[in-house]
Structure 1
C-alpha cells in the first residue's frame, strides 16, 4: 500500500486511519492502492490538532475578564486537556533532531527568496475568490502545509481550508480555517526571522537534551502548555494559563515537593499592590465575599476597616484566602520549591483555557484537567483517581507526596519540531528571542 503526501511534515496516519483513507475504487493495474489527497490532508489536520496541545486547538473559549485579580478571572468550564497521538516531548534529543531538520528546510526556503507577504485586510475563508488567495496558496506551499500539486487558483477551496487549519495548529491559533488578524500576522513573519527563531531555540533545547528523568513535567511558557513525560514519551498534555508580559513566569528547574489539596492561598505582595488595594477601594466588601482574611505581623487577625485602603498600608499585612469553591487555586496546588515562589495549580473556573493567548496570571501556572496530572504524579501511592475526585468534593486540607521526586522544568521555547517534520512556532511573548516585535505577536499584556 503506497501513501504519498507531498512532504513528510507531520505524523503518519495510524493503521486504522489508513484503512479509512484508502480510496477503494482507485486501484492501479499494478495493484497499488492510492489515497485521495483531500481525505489524507483532512485526516492530517485532525492529527495535528491533537498534536498542537497548547493552542486552544479544538476548543472555542470565552474571553475572560483579564482586568480582574488572579482569583477573580471569569472562566467558564468546558475545554479538556489535550491527550495526543504525537508523543514527542518539547524537550529531548528528538526535538534537537527535529529542529536541525527544520533549520535545513528553512535555510532552503530563505535561499529561494522566502515568501511574499499576504495583504492583510478582508477575511479569507472557504468560498472566497480573491487575488490574495493565490499568495496564500504560495505561502502555504512554501512550508508544506498545502500540496504543491493543487495549483495556484484564486479560489479558497477545501484544499486551502485544510492547509490553513494545519498552519493555524502549528502556530497556536484555533483552527477554524479562516484567515483573520492573528493568522495574517503569523503568515507574514518573514522566513528569515522564522529561521532565526529555529536557530535560537535549538540552543535552548540542546541545553535540556540530556537525561531529564524517567518521569518529568515540562511547562513551555510561550505555548502555555504542560506535558507529563514518562520514559521519553508524552503521556498527557495540558493547556495552561501563564504569566502576563509584565508578570512573567520564570524559567526554572525544580521538582514536585508535594500536592496540597484545598490549600489556603497567601496573596503575593505584587497582587496586593496591583489588584487587591484597587479592588477594596472600589468594593469595600471584596475581601469578605472572597473569604480573604487579614493578619498582622504577630499572626493576629485584623478587620479590613482598620486599614487605610487609600494608601499602601495594606502592604504591611498578610492576606490569606480560605479553602472554598472559589479559592484562587481551586482545589489543589502542585508545590514546586523555587526562589520565585511560583507553583502550578487548579482554578475555580476554566474559560481562559479556551483562548489562543493564555497569558493572564501573575507568574504561576494554572493547569487544565489538573486531576489527571496529579493522579500521574501520585502513581503508586494510595491516592488513586477516585480518591482525588473524592477530596475535590470537600474542603479538607490534606497534603500528599509522590513516591519519588518528579522533576519539573519551566522553559521558554518559541519554536520546536519533531523528527516527523511537525514544526511549531509560538509568539515571543516576553521578547526573549531577540528578533523584534515581528515574531512577538500578541505580546501585549491584558489591561489592568
Structure 2
C-alpha cells in the first residue's frame, strides 16, 4: 500500500513540479502526455486506492495566509500549463464511466494528467479503469460536483473550461483572498456564495463546514462583514417587501386561502391584525403592510434564525425544505442563507453563552415558543465571493461564477447548460 501510494504521488505531482521548475521541463512533461503512445490496458495492475493522494478535503480555512500561498503556487502551475498550450478538450458526447472502453477516454486521460488529477504512470489507453475513475472523482470534488466518477454535462462543462480562463479565475480570486487574510478573529463564520458553503473557523482551523442555499441570480446574497449577536429559536418570519410583491400577492390572487394555510398574518402599522378579505389583491396595496408567519414546522425559517446587523436585512436560518440541500446548484433563496444541519452551527455559536447547551437548545425548539437568545460573545461573520482557491500544493478548487463577478461568461456554467 505504501509503495503504490508513493508511486501515485510521484506521478501526480510531476506536472506541478515541472510547472515550478521552468518552461523547458514543463514542456517536456506536457509534451509527453499529449504525444504519448497508447499504453496501459485492462490487464495492467491498477488499484483505485493508489489514486487517493493529494486529498481535496481540508480543514484549512479559505481565509488564511496558507490559502494565499497555495493559490499563488496554483497560479504558477497554471501559468506553466497555459504557456505550453493548455489541456485538450474532451468530446462531450458520451456518458463515460468506469468500465467503458472508448477512444474519447484517451483525451480524458490526457486532460486529467495535465491538471494533475491522474498520474502520468497510469498510461494512455481507451480504458476507463479505476485510475481514471479516481481521477475523475478527484476532479469533480475540486469543482464542487458530486464525486460519482460519471461524466455528465456539468463535469464536461467544468473540464472543458480552457486553461487560460482558469488561470484568470485564480488570479482574480487571489486578489480577493489577499484582502481577507488578516486577523479575522479567533472564531468566525464565513459564507462563500459561489460554493454555497459555510465554514465555522476556530483558531485557524475549520471546525464545521455546512452546505448552504444562497440567493438566486435576481435576488443575490450580498457581500457583507458583521458579527452574529442573536439566535432566535422558533422565529417569526417577517416577509420582505420584495417577497410580498413578487410571491405572496400573486399567490393570493390564485388562492385566497394561501395566507391562512401557511399561518401568515397581516399586521397594520399599529400592530393589529388585518383580515385578508379587506385587501384588494388585484393591486399592490398589500405591500405596505407587514406579513408575519407564526413559528412552527412550516415556518420559512423552521427552527432557528441567526441574526447579525447589516443594511440588507439578510440573515441565516433553518428551512423546512431540507431536500433543496441535495441540489447541485443551490442558488434558490431570496438573498438570505439557509444552513444545512443548522443546529450544529448554532450549538457552536452558543458555546460561550452560559446555560445554552445543546440540550436546552433542543428542548426550546420542542416547546414551540419564540425565544431570542443574545450571544455572550458575538462571532464575526463574513459573506464573501470566492470562486477559486487552493487548499494544498496541486489542489486548486473552482466553482461556478453564479453572479458573473469574475467577468468571463465561460465561467457561468449553470447559465450555459
Tell me the TM-score normalized by structure 2.
Answer: 0.88
Deviations 1:73-110 (A, max 9, x none): xxxxxxxxxxxxx2101111111011001001100110
Q: 1:429 aligns with which of 402, 405, 413?
A: 402
- 1:36 CA displacement: 7.4
Which residue of structure 1 aligns with residue 119 of structure 2? 147
- 1:280 CA displacement: 1.0
Q: Matched residue of 1:125: which SS?
A: coil
Deviations 1:391-442 (A, max 9, x none): 121211112222212100000000000234321100000000012x211111
- 1:210 CA displacement: 0.4
Q: 2:375 aligns with which of 387, 396, 402?
A: 402
Which residue of structure 2 aligns with residue 213 of structure 1? 185
Using the alignment, how far apart are the partners of 1:220 and 1:424 within structure 2?
Answer: 13
Q: Matched residue of 2:265: which SS?
A: strand
Q: Verify the 8 A CA contact 1:256 1:336 in the aligned structure 2.
A: yes
1:224-239 to structure 2, matched below 5 A, reads 224-239=196-211
In structure 1, list runs of 5 or more residues that go unmatched: 10-34, 52-85
Higher-Rg structure is 2
Q: 1:128 aligns with which of 93, 96, 100?
A: 100
Q: Verify the 8 A CA contact 2:12 2:118 in the aligned structure 1.
A: no
Q: Verify the 8 A CA contact 2:238 2:292 in the aligned structure 1.
A: yes
Q: 1:387 aligns with which of 345, 351, 360?
A: 360
Using the alignment, how far apart are the partners of 2:117 and 2:147 within structure 1?
Answer: 13
Q: Matched residue of 1:388: which SS?
A: helix
Deviations 1:283-336 (A, max 9, x none): 211110110000122222111111111221211211000101110011110001
Which residue of structure 2 aligns with residue 68 of structure 1? none
Q: Verify the 8 A CA contact 1:101 1:419 in the aligned structure 2.
A: no
Counterpart check, 1:104 vs 2:76 = yes
Q: Matched residue of 1:403: which SS?
A: strand
Which residue of structure 2 aligns with residue 414 of structure 1? 387
Q: In the comparison of the two structures, how many residue pairs are matched?
A: 381
Relative distance call for 1:110 and 1:131 in structure 2 (3 A) is: same
Which residue of structure 2 aligns with residue 332 of structure 1? 304
Q: Verify the 8 A CA contact 2:46 2:131 in the aligned structure 1.
A: no
Which residue of structure 1 aligns with residue 216 of structure 2? 244
Which residue of structure 1 aligns with residue 20 of structure 2? none
Which residue of structure 1 aligns with residue 141 of structure 2? 169
Give the structure, 1 or 2, with the largest relative contact order (CA under 8 Å, sep 6 or more).
1
In structure 2, list runs of 5 or more residues that go unmatched: 15-44
Using the alignment, how far apart are the partners of 1:421 and 1:363 within structure 2?
Answer: 34
Q: Matched residue of 1:254: which SS?
A: strand
Q: Verify the 8 A CA contact 1:133 1:155 in the aligned structure 2.
A: yes
Q: Verify the 8 A CA contact 2:89 2:160 in the aligned structure 1.
A: yes
Structure 1: 4+ residue segments shifted above 6 A: none
Return 185-194 or 294-303, whichever deviates more: 294-303
Using the alignment, how far apart are the partners of 1:36 and 1:139 within structure 2?
Answer: 19
Q: Matched residue of 1:401: which SS?
A: strand
Q: Matched residue of 2:382: which SS?
A: strand
